[in-house]
């Protein structure tokens, strides 16, 4: 199908926002500028008073944790996990995973996210079903707890999930292996995950250096910081590892990330709410490390709104560094789009340019938050909120048009998600 978005301000990779036309042919952007005489669109969108941006890439989340939103707030991370979250998750069944992920998909589409990386499990096939049905792009992985009695079984399950689902849904589903974290996966288990990943060429998604406790416990147990000893297990040897959080970093950690092309995912909302600390994003960027943005799970954030994460990423680092230039507006937008796509190894995603995937969000610029329009990138980063999301396109297919959902039944999803949450939290 061919789609024309006419007379729209387009956010180009260099940060300019010219008023122009955007042509979509199949799943790709075919032209930006004058519409070719032979381009015959089957659908036309009027871009007047609209800003077209790349779709947001949520590079780290736990989608089905939407069911635990507001369930366990204002707690320290390990108490939150051990006393509240993990016991509730143990009660989840496949139906819960499905409806939790559906609730996440609903929220993501309505807030402009087109791609997401999800670490969760079991029943990741249910999340793959959600990706297929919703039209979103998903990078999925079955979370692996190395200290669990069934750890080896779950590793085999993760590999089978890769073999069965990687590349499915017209290549909108990609699969990684996800050892949960150094504090739940000892060295011997990390070596087994590394061997399995390298055998099939599977990329890694892991939590790293989220809290001071994680660092201190690692020093006591292994005499090394987590990045140091995990690198010795071979886990990073395949390159392009996605490392969520990366809050507590030193120079040696940065060198390891550079050596193995490890991509960091900054989760400012979750890190602030759980009082985990402030990731050294400006330093990582200056050292050439790819830094993406993620919401983390909705039980620790408490939403999946990437526009909010963009604003937090820009503002947090200014005050942390006492530097108004620490993370400029355009950089925060790239964290949520272009850099997120790179972090997840999504080819031709995250930029609006000819030949790129047609993953596009149209923001309505009507209203007070977009007036006056001195700088559209600045307005997007600092002023806009997700209520401005008007239309969402993934792979050239329209998932939401003028706020009307095309692939999801909102009323059904809200009902089923509430029902699932009730049995998890009232047990």
Is the pLDDT assigned to residue 427 strictly greater than 70?
no
113-120/205-208 β-pairing: unpaired
| Tokens read off for 200 | 């099939």
Using omega within 30 degrees of 0 as the cis cutoff, is the peptide bond preceding 48 cis? no
Model confidence at 425, pLDDT cuts 50, 70, 90, reads confident
Contact 172, 394 (CB under 8 A): yes
Q: What string of DSSP letters covers 239-274?
A: S--EEEE--S--HHHHHHHHHHTPEEEE-HHHHHHT
The candidate with the shortest Cα–Cα distance to 49, out of 11, 9, 17, is 9
Report pLDDT for 75. Answer: 75
3-state SS assignment for residue 357: strand
Is the pLDDT assigned to residue 274 strictly greater than 70?
yes
**CA separation for the pair 219, 244 (Å, rounded):** 20
Model confidence at 165, pLDDT cuts 50, 70, 90, reads very high
Model pTM score: 0.96
Report pLDDT for 421. Answer: 87
The contacts of residue 52 (CB under 8 Å, 6+ apart) are 5, 8, 9, 10, 11, 22, 352, 360, 361, 362, 363
* % of the chain residues with pLDDT over 90: 89
**CA separation for the pair 412, 338 (Å, rounded):** 33
For the chain, which domains are there? 2-54+356-405 (2.30.40.10), 56-343 (3.20.20.140)
Report pLDDT for 80. Answer: 75
Q: How many CA atoms lie within 13 A of 62 on its CB side?
A: 26
Taking only the tens place, the pLDDT of each residue in 222-237 is 999 999 999 999 999 9
Contact 302, 70 (CB under 8 A): yes
Taking only the tens place, the pLDDT of each residue in 8-50 is 999 999 999 999 999 999 999 999 999 999 999 999 999 999 9
Instruction: List beta partners, residue 51.
Output: 9, 363
Q: Which residue has the tokens 């490390």?
A: 289
Using the Cα atoms of residue 189, residue 147, residue 140 and residue 384 in order, give the sign of their dihedral.
Answer: negative
Report pLDDT for 189. Answer: 98
**CA separation for the pair 149, 301 (Å, rounded):** 30
Q: What is the mean pLDDT of the chain?
A: 96
Report pLDDT for 92. Answer: 85
Is the pLDDT assigned to residue 306 strictly greater than 70?
yes
Taking only the tens place, the pLDDT of each residue in 397-424 is 999 999 999 999 999 999 999 998 888 8
3-state SS assignment for residue 329: helix
Taking only the tens place, the pLDDT of each residue in 74-131 is 877 778 778 887 787 788 899 999 999 999 999 999 999 999 999 998 899 999 999 9
| Phi, psi dihedral angles at 329 (to 5 degrees) | -55, -50
């Amino acid at each position: 199908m061919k789609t024309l978005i006419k007379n729209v301000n387009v956010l180009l990779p260099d940060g300019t926002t010219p008023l122009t036309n955007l042509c979509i042919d199949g799943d790709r952007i075919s032209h930006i500028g004058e519409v070719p005489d032979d381009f015959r669109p089957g659908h036309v969108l009027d871009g007047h008073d609209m800003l077209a941006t790349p779709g947001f890439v949520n590079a780290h989340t736990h989608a089905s944790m939407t069911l635990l939103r507001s369930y366990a707030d204002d707690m320290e991370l390990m108490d939150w996990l051990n006393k509240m979250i993990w016991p509730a998750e143990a009660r989840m069944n496949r139906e819960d995973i499905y409806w939790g992920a559906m609730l996440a998909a609903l929220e993501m589409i309505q807030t402009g996210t087109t791609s997401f990386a999800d670490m969760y499990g079991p029943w990741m096939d249910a999340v793959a079903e959600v990706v297929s049905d919703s039209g979103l792009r998903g990078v999925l992985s079955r979370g692996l707890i190395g200290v669990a009695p069934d750890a080896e079984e779950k590793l085999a399950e993760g590999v089978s999930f890769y073999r069965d689902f990687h590349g499915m849904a017209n290549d909108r589903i990609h699969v990684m292996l996800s050892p949960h974290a150094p504090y739940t996966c000892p060295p011997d288990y990390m070596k087994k995950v590394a061997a399995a990943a390298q055998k099939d060429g599977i990329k890694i998604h892991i939590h790293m250096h989220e809290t001071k406790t994680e660092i201190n416990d690692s020093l006591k147990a292994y005499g090394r910081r987590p990045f140091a000893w995990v690198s010795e297990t071979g886990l990073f040897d395949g390159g392009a590892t996605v490392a969520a959080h990366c809050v507590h970093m030193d120079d040696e950690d940065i060198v390891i990330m550079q050596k193995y092309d490890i991509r960091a995912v900054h989760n400012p909302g979750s890190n602030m709410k759980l009082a985990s600390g402030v990731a050294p994003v400006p330093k990582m960027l200056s050292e050439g490390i790819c830094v993406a943005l993620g919401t983390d799970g909705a039980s620790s954030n408490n939403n999946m709104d990437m526009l909010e994460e963009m604003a937090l990423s820009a503002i947090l680092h200014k005050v942390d560094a006492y530097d108004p230039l620490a993370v400029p507006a355009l950089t925060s937008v790239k964290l949520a789009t272009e850099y997120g796509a790179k972090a997840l190894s999504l080819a031709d995603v995250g930029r609006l340019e000819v030949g790129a995937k047609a993953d596009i969000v149209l923001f309505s610029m009507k209203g007070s938050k977009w007036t006056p329009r001195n700088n559209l990138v600045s307005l997007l980063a600092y002023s806009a909120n997700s209520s401005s999301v008007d239309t969402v396109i993934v792979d050239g297919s329209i998932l939401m048009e003028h706020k009307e959902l095309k692939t999801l039944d909102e009323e059904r999803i809200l009902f089923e998600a509430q029902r699932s949450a009730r049995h998890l939290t009232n047990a």
